[in-house]
Amino acid sequence: MESTLRTEYSLATVYLNTASHGVLPARTARALREAVDAMATGRTDQVAGFEKVEEARRAYGRIAGIDPGRVAVGSSVAAHAGTVARSLRPGAEVVCARDEFSSLVNPFHARGDLTVREVPLEKLAEAVGAGTALVAVSAVQSLDGRMADLRAVREAARDHGARVLVDSTQALGWLPLSAAGFDYTVCDTYKWLLGPRGVSFLTLPADGGDLVPAGPGWLSARDPWATCYGAVRDPAPDARRFDDSFALLPGIGTAASLALVEEVGTEAIAAHDEALARRFRA
């Protein structure tokens, strides 16, 4: 791992702000420069660019421990959380942790006809009740790094027939976490997954759960290139029907970054990061 990191990074300083924005690996910066140069000289290959996004989807599925057919691609956690919020019936109760990052919880507040109940993180599981429709929580809190007891939350939700939405933005990439164990997960990739801003993933049950696509465009079709005019009458049978019209440059960069995360491995990254954290505290 050390030799790989030396190849990808040549920082002269110690960088301690990955939780805000990861440092782009050399391969990612190179892929972006090549794509920008192609766009600037009339050599853009959109089909190849979209395949890079599919490559990123598949890599994310492997990292998150979930079938890529259950992974939708978009541009922000807020948009994905908005899709989940849109699916809830009026008056439904959403339980979330106090001081959660706004992108996860604001879409539920913004609807105006949901009951959003905020409780201390350590009380989240016991706050789930018979009237709870959804629990929304970050695996790792952006504010202070506290980790949610996801097992307890999941068990409480199942006992009361509620669904669980987990934001893994501050976890995936260094913390081993399987998205397959939750109804929905959302993740921005510009932090611990080391990509450029502009790519977010949503995972959902194999049957789509209760979700209705919030803004389906041409990419939501089974065969987008063959049916990109008029209404989409044959939507994709999997999570692609929830895809936003994603940006190619961030997608190309994300594919390169996720390849590095896979090469090094989440467990090795976790051990490396935790050792650095202990060293820093000392």
Question: Is residue 14 over pLDDT 80?
Answer: no
d(CA 205, CA 66): 10
> pTM value?
0.94
Please, which pLDDT band fits residue 213 given cuts at 50, 70 and 90?
A: confident
Q: How far apart are the first and last CA of the chain?
A: 24
Is pLDDT of 214 > 90? no
Helices and strands per DSSP (H, E), number in the chain: 9, 7
CA within 13 Å, CB half, 255: 21
- Strand ranges across the sheet with 163-167: 71-74, 200-203, 184-188, 163-167, 132-138, 93-97, 115-119
What mean pLDDT comes out for the span 121-127?
97
Residue 42's pLDDT band (cuts 50, 70, 90): very high
Q: Helices marked H in 45-193 — which ranges?
A: 46-64, 77-86, 102-111, 124-127, 150-159
Q: Say what the pLDDT of residue 7 is.
A: 86
Predicted confidence band of residue 12 (pLDDT cuts 50, 70, 90): low
Strands 184-188 and 200-203, sheet pairing: antiparallel
Tens of pLDDT, residues 78-104:
999 999 999 999 999 999 999 999 999
Q: What is the pLDDT of residues 47-56, one digit of tens each?
A: 999 999 999 9
Average pLDDT over residues 20-27: 94
Q: So where are the chain's domains? A: 2-281
Type of residue numbered 113: D
Single-letter amino acid, residue 2: E
The pLDDT of residue 217 is above 90: no
pLDDT in tens, 235-267: 999 999 999 877 899 999 999 999 999 999 999
Question: Percent of the chain beyond pLDDT 90?
Answer: 83
The whole-angstrom separation of Cα 130 and Cα 123 is 16
Lowest-confidence region among 143-157, 174-188, 189-203, 233-247:
233-247
Name which of 68-72, 135-139, 147-151, 211-215 the model is least confident about: 211-215
Contact 238, 222 (CB under 8 A): no
Which pLDDT band, with edges at 50, 70 and 90, does 16 fall under? Answer: confident
Closest Cα partner for 239 from 49, 80, 62?
80
Query: Contact at 8 Å (CB) between 170 and 141?
Result: yes
Mean pLDDT value of segment 64-72:
97
Strand partners, 71: 203
**Whole-number CA gyration radius for the chain:** 19
CB 40 within 8 A of CB 48: no
Query: What CATH number does the domain located at 2-281 have?
Result: 3.40.640.10
Burial state string for 169-186 with b = 16 or more CB within 10 A and e = fewer than 16: bbbbbbbebebeebbbbb
Average model confidence (pLDDT) across the chain: 93
AA identity, residue 7: T
